Structure 1
C-alpha cells in the first residue's frame, strides 16, 4: 500500500520527468475526507479532521521544499563538475599540442584524409628540423592502416624508430600523433611513453602490467617504448609479446576496479582479466642506430612482426644552423616578454650555438645552451634588481658564446651558470691528486689510479665525436698484506672517480662478512642488497673479502657472493666494488662464483713498504701528532724495519707497524718527561729510547 509520500513522488516524476506544483496549488488541493470516529460528536470529529488535514498539508510542503532545494543543489554541483572536467580536458589537449591551427574537414573521404596527413607532415616538420625523410616515412606508417586496413584487436602499427640521441625520434612521434588526433583522424592526440629501464630488476612484471594498463586505458592513440637495453628480460619478453601478438598475458588473475588492475590471486571473481590488448593502438619502439641490437634482445620473430623500421639521420650543418636560429629567436622572444630584455645576436653567434651540438647529446645540447643563456640573464635581473627595458648582446669568441648587457650606462658581462661548478670540480680533482702524491710509496698503484682519468677523457672525446665509447669495468681487487694502504687508497679512489665524473656520490661504504652474511635463511640477500643500495653512486669496499667464502658448504657466504654479483650487474654505471685481502686467499675466493673473476679485471698488488718508506711514514705520523723526532732516531728505526721485514710475517713491514711504534713512543715520552724536572722537559721531542726497538 502506498503512503502519501509515495503518491507525491509518483506525481512529481510521472512520465519520467520532474513536475512541481506551486504552494498555492497545494493549498487549494482538496485532501481526502477523513473517516469520522463514530464515537465522537460530529463537530469535534470535523475539527480533528481539519487539524489532521492541515498537518498533512504542512508535511507535503516541507517535503516539496526539501526536494526542490536538494535537486537544485545537485544540478548546480553536477554542472560545476562537468565544467571543471571540460576545462581539465581542454588543458590536457593543449598540453598535448592541440591548438587552433588549420583543421582538415575529415569526413573520411580520400581527399580529406590526404589533406589531414599533409597538414600533419607540415606541423611535424616545423617542430623537428632536418628530418624530412624520416617524417615522410613516419606519416606513411600512420597512414598505412587507413589504406590497408587492420584487425579490430590488432595494433594499427608496430614500428621500430632507430637513430641517434636528440635526432627528433620522440618529438616527431608525439607531434604527428597530436596533429592527427586534433584533426579527428586518430581518436586521441595523446602519446603515452613507457621507460623500460624502470623495470630493470626481477619481480617487476606486476609494476609493468599496471603502467601498461594505465597507458592503454588512458586514451593515448600511440604508445612509445624506450630504453629497452636496460630492461629486465622478464619484462622485455612481455613487451615483445605486445608487439608480436598485440596482447600481453598477465602474470596472475586481475579484475578492473576504479580504473586500476587489482590482483585477486586465486580468488574467483566475475570479469577477470587475463590479457591486455593493444588493439587500435600505434606501437613504437625507440632505440639506437643499430638494428642488430634489436635482434639480439628480442629475436627474429619480433623483427618479422614489425610493420616498419624507421631511421632518423644525423643532422647536416644546414639543419643545425636552422635549429640554432630557431633556438635564438625563441630565446629573444622569451627574454623580451618575460625580462623586458632586447637581445641582439648575429650569424657568428648562430654558428657558435650550432657548434655545441654533439652526437651524444643531440639537438638537445643546443636547447640546453639557449636555456643556460636565458637563466644567466634572468639571474642578473633578479640579483641586480634591474627594472625597465635593458639591452642584451651575445658574442661569439673562439667558438664559445658570451653574454653581455647594458643598463644604466656601462656594459657588463654575464657569468653563465655551470662555470662555477667546473671550477669546483677541478679544485676537488687537484686536491685528490695532491693527497695521492703525499702517500708514501705505492708508485705502480698511483700510476694505475691516475690512468683512469686519461681513459675516461678519451672515451668522452670519442662519445662527443659520435664514435663508439667503451665503458670499462671499474671494479678492482686490492691484494697485499695488512697495513699496506689498501683502505686509504680505496677512500681516495672513491673521491677521485667522483672528481673526474665517473661517480655521482663518491662515498665509500666499508663492509665485512658480518655486514653481508645473515644468520638465518633469507637474511643474507637483503643484507647484501642494503649495502649495495647504500654504496650506489660511490664505492663498496669489502675488506678481507675472502672471508665471505668458507668453502662449498658455506651456503650463506655463497648467497652473499651471488647477490653481490647480481647487484654489480644491475648497477654497472653507478657502483664500483673494491675487494681487499691477502693475495693467496683472494685467488681462492675468485673461484667461489664463475662470474667473479670476469667482473674484476683489475687486480692491484700492494707491496710491503721498504725500510726507507716506513721511515717516511713514521715521520709523517709523528708530525701529524704534533711531535718531532731526534735525528738519532733514524738509524735504529731503519735497522728495526729491516729486521722486521726479514721475518717474513705478513703483518710486518707495513704502515700499521709504524703507527703502533709511534703511539708507543708517545706514551714512553710522556712517562719519561714526568720523571724529569720541569725545566728539562721537552714535550715535543721523541728520543730513540722512547721507541721499543728490541
Structure 2
C-alpha cells in the first residue's frame, strides 16, 4: 500500500517554500530544491503522512547533491514529530553513512559515520531506503544493503512525518520520495501457490463472495467466458484470437487489486493457459539493484520464479520516477522485463498495479510497455456500506461481535473517514487497521478483570467504550512545516 509519495511536479503536499539568507526551499523542475546556506547548524524540511511505524514499511528517497561540502551529512528523516524528535539516515559526499535518533533534541548515535563504497561520491544522485520487516530495520544505499538494526532501537514513534536533513553548506535536489506500508514489504518475494484441491468453480465462488467490486467481477467473468470459448475453438481446430495474458490494475490502495491478481492466476491455470497459476509478488526493490548489470540478474530471478504463473509488480510506476533527469537502473529492469515477456511468451503473465494517474504516466512514457498490455481493470474506492461490511467480516472472522451502539460508532467513524478521504485512503486496509486498534482497546478494557470470571461472550464482545480512541488514532494527521 502506498501511504505517501511525491515526485514534485507541483507542490500538492505543501512542502515549505522560502528563500532567505539562510536557506532555500523550492519546488522547481520536478524536484524539491533544498539549500543550506549557513556554515554551521542543520536544516530540516518535512511533510505529514499517515504512516504507522510499528508496522512493516519501506521508505525510499532519491537525492541529488548538487554542490557544497562533502564532509557533512544529508539524507532522510522519518517518524518525525518536530525538529527535536525524529530518526535520520544520512550519507556524505565523501562516501560515509550514519544512523541517529533525536529525542527531545538529545542525539543517540545508532551507527557512527561508516565508510562505504555504496555511496556515489561528490555531487551525484543517491537512492536511500529504510525498510522495516518484522523485528529489524534495513538501510539501503542505491538499492544495496548497507546496514541492519533491530526494530527495538526505533520503538519510539515520535510522529508520522517524513522529510529531509541537511548539515552545513550544501545544495540538494530531491527527485522523489515514496512510502509503502503493509505486510511482506522489503523481503524476497514469496510465491502464492494454488491450493491442491482448487477448481475453477471454487475460484469463481470466491470471486463472487468478495464485498463490492461489482464491475470488476463482471470483467473477470467476461475474461473467463472469453478464454473458455477460445479454448473450445482451439480444440475444434477453429481460428483463435491472439491472446495477451498480461494486465494492468489501477486504482487506490486496499481495493482488492492483489486479491484479483491471485484469482486470475488460478483462473489461467484451470483454463490451461498457465501451468501452475501461482503469483510472485514484487515491487521496485525486488527488481532493481545498484550497479550496471545487477538489475538484469535481479529481474531475471523474479521472472524465473514466476514461470508458469504470474509476476505481480506493485507500484510499477516506481521503476521510472516522473521527471527523473538522471541515469536510473529502473529502466534496465523495464528493458529486461520486456525481453523476458517475449522470450517466455505464454509461459508467464505480468500484472502491473498502482495509482491510476501514475500508471497512466508510466505507460505513456514507455510505449513498449503499453503495447504488451491489452487488458485494464479500474478499481474505485469502496462505499461506506461496503467498508462497514468489510469491517464486520474482519470481526466475524476473528471471532468478535459488536454491540448495536459499537456498530453505530464504527459506522460513523467509517463514514467520516470516507467523506474526508484522499486518493491514498486505505479502504479495506483502513478497516483492518481500525479493527486492530479497536481490538487493542478492548483488550485494555478487560485486561484488569478477573479472567476466570469472564465468559467467552465477554471476550468476544466489542462495546462502545472500545471505539473512540481507535477512531481518533486513525483520523490523526500531522501538520506540514519546516524548521531549522
What TM bracket, shorter-length normalisation? 0.5 to 0.7
- SS across alignment from 2:367: coil
Say whether the 8 Å CA contact 1:429–1:496 is kept in structure 2.
yes
Say whether the 8 Å CA contact 1:636–1:693 is kept in structure 2.
no
Which consecutive segments of 4 or more residues in structure 1 shift more than 6 A?
Answer: none
In the alignment, what sits opposite 2:278? Answer: 507
Moved more, 631-640 or 543-552: 631-640
In the alignment, what sits opposite 1:693? Answer: 471
Pick the structure with greater CA Rg. Answer: 1
Q: Quick one: distance in 2 between partners of 1:640 and 1:497? A: 39
- SS across alignment from 2:447: helix
Say whether the 8 Å CA contact 2:234–2:240 is kept in structure 1.
yes
Please state how far the C-alpha of 1:427 moved relative to its aligned partner.
5.6
Q: Quick one: distance in 2 between partners of 1:508 and 1:554? A: 31
In the alignment, what sits opposite 2:15? Answer: none
In the alignment, what sits opposite 2:300? Answer: 529
In the alignment, what sits opposite 1:483? Answer: 254
In the alignment, what sits opposite 1:567? Answer: 340
Please state how far the C-alpha of 1:445 moved relative to its aligned partner.
1.0
What root-mean-square deviation, in Å, do the aligned CA atoms of Structure 1 and Structure 2 show? 2.0
Residue among 313, 329, 336 paired with 1:542: 313
In the alignment, what sits opposite 2:223? Answer: 452
Question: Are the structure 2 counterparts of residues 534 and 653 from structure 1 closer, same or farther at C-alpha, using a change threshold of 3 Å?
Answer: closer
Question: Are the structure 2 counterparts of residues 427 and 511 from structure 1 closer, same or farther at C-alpha, using a change threshold of 3 Å?
Answer: closer
Say whether the 8 Å CA contact 2:253–2:426 is kept in structure 1.
no
- SS across alignment from 1:501: coil
Superposed, which structure 2 residues align to 1:619-658 within 5 Å?
Answer: 619-652=392-425, 654-658=427-431
In the alignment, what sits opposite 2:266? Answer: 495
Higher RCO (C-alpha 8 Å, min separation 6): 2
> Normalization by structure 1: what TM-score?
0.38
Please state how far the C-alpha of 1:657 moved relative to its aligned partner.
0.5
In the alignment, what sits opposite 2:41? Answer: none
In the alignment, what sits opposite 2:379? Answer: 606
The answer to which structure has the higher strand fraction is 2
Please state how far the C-alpha of 1:634 moved relative to its aligned partner.
2.5
- SS across alignment from 1:430: helix
Q: Deviations over 1:55-99 (max 9, x none)?
A: xxxxxxxxxxxxxxxxxxxxxxxxxxxxxxxxxxxxxxxxxxxxx
Say whether the 8 Å CA contact 1:641–1:653 is kept in structure 2.
no
Please state how far the C-alpha of 1:594 moved relative to its aligned partner.
1.9
Question: Are the structure 2 counterparts of residues 596 and 469 from structure 1 closer, same or farther at C-alpha, using a change threshold of 3 Å?
Answer: same
Please state how far the C-alpha of 1:472 moved relative to its aligned partner.
1.7
Say whether the 8 Å CA contact 1:562–1:593 is kept in structure 2.
no
- SS across alignment from 1:665: helix
Q: Quick one: distance in 2 between partners of 1:653 and 1:505? A: 31
Please state how far the C-alpha of 1:663 moved relative to its aligned partner.
0.6
Q: Does 1:671 align with 2:424?
A: no
The answer to which structure has the higher helix fraction is 1
Say whether the 8 Å CA contact 1:644–1:653 is kept in structure 2.
no
Question: Are the structure 2 counterparts of residues 571 and 499 from structure 1 closer, same or farther at C-alpha, using a change threshold of 3 Å?
Answer: same
Please state how far the C-alpha of 1:644 moved relative to its aligned partner.
1.1
- SS across alignment from 2:211: coil
